Amino acid sequence: MRLSAVLVSVALVCSAAGVPAQEEDRAPAPLKIYKWTDADGIVHYAAQPPEAATAEEVKVRPGPPPAPPEDAEAVQRQQLCDMARKNLELLEMKGRSLVIQEGDTVRPITERERNEQLEAAKLTISDCEKAAAEAADEIEENGGQ
């Protein structure tokens, strides 16, 4: 929390002084952590070494990169793909009578409507699979990132 407040303060000061703070162009400097034991035998950790004691620098391993934010459009696409798969499953069930609701009227689906809905679901699923393959290829081209 404290480090991010400092970074925001630095960015604001640079911005006010007309100096561009180009955080996205640079990787953040590695965080240094120091460890020491006081006279009472209590072990301390801090970002700054103490003045009155000898401290050793602790090696800090970087954590995993943050997950990318959810893309609302990608979430909506995924929901459409999931719905198409469920529709296909229902439409392919034999012996199941399906109905269509039009306003207040509910009627059985005709064979022609069933076939049209089957084709529409298959087309949507095909598009989903193509998009997923393209996304996987793009990730592979970017070295898994």
Q: Where are the alpha helices (DSSP H) in the chain?
A: 2-16, 72-92, 111-141
For residues 86 and 115, membership in a common domain is answered with: yes
- In this structure, is residue 39 part of a structural domain? yes
Distance CA 121, CA 115 (A): 10
Q: What is the mean pLDDT of each run of 10 residues along the chain (145 residues)?
A: 36 41 53 87 88 86 78 87 93 84 89 93 94 86 71
* pLDDT computed for residue 14 by the predictor: 38
Nearest to 47, CA basis, from 37, 38, 60: 60
- In this structure, is residue 76 part of a structural domain? yes
For residues 56 and 85, membership in a common domain is answered with: no
Total count of domains within the chain:
2
Strands 56-58 and 105-108: what pairing? unpaired
* pLDDT computed for residue 116 by the predictor: 94
- In this structure, is residue 83 part of a structural domain? yes
For residues 53 and 94, membership in a common domain is answered with: no
For residues 88 and 48, membership in a common domain is answered with: no
For residues 34 and 77, membership in a common domain is answered with: no
* pLDDT computed for residue 68 by the predictor: 72
For residues 77 and 134, membership in a common domain is answered with: yes
* pLDDT computed for residue 26 by the predictor: 54
* Domain, as residue range, for 34: 29-63
For residues 101 and 120, membership in a common domain is answered with: yes
Contacts by 10-19, CB closer than 8 A, 24 or more apart: none
- In this structure, is residue 17 part of a structural domain? no
* pLDDT computed for residue 87 by the predictor: 92
For residues 56 and 102, membership in a common domain is answered with: no
* pLDDT computed for residue 16 by the predictor: 42
Q: Is 91 exposed, middle or buried (0-12, 13-18, 19+ CB in 10 A)?
A: buried
Distance CA 69, CA 73 (A): 12
